[in-house]
Structure 1
Amino acid sequence: MPELSQILKIAVIEDQTRIRESLGELIAGSEKYVCVGSYPSMELGLAGIEERSPDVILCDIGLPGMNGIEGVKIIRERFPNTLVIMLTVYDDNERIVEAICAGASGYLLKNTPPDKLFASIDEVAAGGAPMSPEIARTVIDLFRINPPPKQVDHGLTPHETRILKMLVDGHNYKTAAAELGVSINTVSFHMRHIYEKLQVHSKSEAVAKALKSGIV
C-alpha cells in the first residue's frame, strides 16, 4: 500500500480516446498524482505496468480484446502491490460483481466528478474500497436477487469476523483500528490471517467472499 504522503503514480486503461485523454489531463493537472501511462487496451496496459509500476490503475471494464475483469485478475497476480479502480457505466450490473470477485479495489462510474475521483484514489491508497452510490445499490440489489448461501465461517475467529464485517460496512484499516481501539498494524495482522483463511489476496476479494459465503 503506497504512503499517502508520496506522489501517487497513476495509470489509465481505457479504450475511449476522449475519456482516456480527459483522465490523463486531470491527473497531470494535480500536484498529488502523476500519470505514468495511458493505454487503449489491457494488453498494452500490462506491458506498461511492468515497466512503470503504477500505484493505482484506473481501468475500464468493457475493453476490446482482454476485458478489464480478465485483466485485473492478472494484475492482482503479477503486481500485488498495484491497486485497481474499475471504471464502468451504470448498466454493467453483473460484471460489477465479477470485477469485485476478480480483486479490484474500487468501482466508479465513468462520469464521476474530478473531486470524487481524486477522493476515491486517496481512499484506495489508504486501504479503502470506494464505490459510486449507484454501483453500491446495484451490488446490493444483485445480492438480494441472488442471496448468499447459509453461513460458512471458514474458520474465522469472532474477532476476525468482526473486523471483516467492519470492512463490509465500509471501514478501512485506519477507521477500523480507531473504532476497535487498536493500531493499524494490529488490524493488518488480523487481515493477513483473514486473507489466508478465505484464500483471497485483497480487501475487496475478502468483502466479496464474505457476502457470497454469508459470513457477515
Structure 2
Amino acid sequence: MNEPAARIVIIEDDETIREGYTYLVNNTSPYQVVNTYASFDEAKLKITKDNPDVIILDIQLPGTNGIDALPLLKKLLPNVYIIMLTVHETEKIILEALANGASGYFTKNTPSSKIIEAIKDVMQGGGPMSPNVAKKVITSLQKNPDSPLTKRETQILNLITRGKDRSQIATELFIETETVKTHIKNIYLKLNVNSKADAIKVARNNRLV
C-alpha cells in the first residue's frame, strides 16, 4: 500500500462533523485520516503514535479547549501543522490561535474542497484562512489611523507595552530620560489614563500600537 501524501488526525467533539471530514479526506484527496478523537484529552494519550502531518482541530472541545491544546500539541509533535476548524471567528480567538501555533484557520461553513486545499497549503508552508478570518487578521494588524498620539509618543507607548522602563526607552531612542517622562505624561493625558497598565490596555483595545 502506498504511503498517503499526508497523515491527518481530526480532533472534533461533534461525531457527524468528525465522520464527514474523515470521509471527505479519505475519498476525495491523496491524504488519509489515520485517527479521530472527540477531545484533546483523549488524543494526547495516543497522538504521537499516529504521527500526523496535519491536525484538524476544533476550538470548543470538552475538557482542554482547542486554544489551550495548541501549544501542548506542538510540544508533543513539533513539526505538525494544525488547522483550526471552528464556529468561532472573533478577533481575539483568531489571534490567540495563531499566536499559539495554528497554521490555518477556517470556520465550519467553509466548503469542504477548501479544507482539502488548506491541507495542501499548510504542507507547503502556507497559512490558509477563511476570507472573513483573513480580513479580521488584517484589520487587527492595521494601526488606528485616528490615533491621538504623535509618532514619537506611539514609539514610546510601544516600548512601554514591551516592558521597557524610562531609562531603557531613553537609551533606545537616544533621548533624555526627562524627555521620555514628558512624553509619557502627554500619552497619559491624551489617553485619559493614570497608570502604565491602563495605558497599555487602552493602546491594545484601540490598536494604537
TM-score bracket relative to the smaller structure: 0.5 to 0.7
1:108 to 106, 109, 132: 106
Does residue 133 (structure 1) correspond to residue 131 (structure 2)? The answer is yes
Q: Which amino acid aligns with 2:9?
A: A
Deviation at 1:59, TM superposition (A): 0.2
Aligned CA distance change for structure 1 residues 94 and 28 (closer, same or farther; 3 Å): same
Aligned CA distance change for structure 1 residues 66 and 32 (closer, same or farther; 3 Å): same
2:74 is aligned to 76
Deviation at 1:31, TM superposition (A): 4.3
Deviations 1:162-206 (A, max 9, x none): xxxxxxxxxxxxxxxxxxxxxxxxxxxxxxxxxxxxxxxxxxxxx
Task: Compare relative contact order (CA 8 Å, sep 6+) and give the higher one, 1 or 2.
Answer: 1
Gaps of 5+ in 1: 153-211
2:13 to 12, 15, 22: 15
TM-score, length-normalised on structure 2?
0.64
Gaps of 5+ in 2: 146-153, 160-206
Deviations 1:147-171 (A, max 9, x none): 9x7478xxxxxxxxxxxxxxxxxxx
1:87 is aligned to 85
1:120 is aligned to 118
Q: Is the 8 A contact 2:89 2:107 kept in 1?
A: no
Deviation at 1:92, TM superposition (A): 3.6
Q: Which amino acid aligns with 1:48?
A: K
1:172 is aligned to none
Q: How does 1:1-216 map to 2 (within 5 A)?
A: 7-144=5-142, 150=155
C-alpha distance in structure 2 between counterparts of 1:69 and 1:89, whole Å: 13
TM-score, length-normalised on structure 1?
0.62
1:169 is aligned to none
C-alpha distance in structure 1 between counterparts of 2:127 and 2:83, whole Å: 9
2:102 aligned counterpart, secondary structure: coil
Q: Give 1 or 2 for the bigger CA radius of gyration.
A: 2
Deviation at 1:99, TM superposition (A): 0.4
Deviation at 1:94, TM superposition (A): 1.1
Aligned CA distance change for structure 1 residues 134 and 72 (closer, same or farther; 3 Å): same
Q: Which amino acid aligns with 2:97?
A: A
Deviations 1:15-52 (A, max 9, x none): 11111111111112134011111111011122231111
Cα RMSD (Å): 2.6
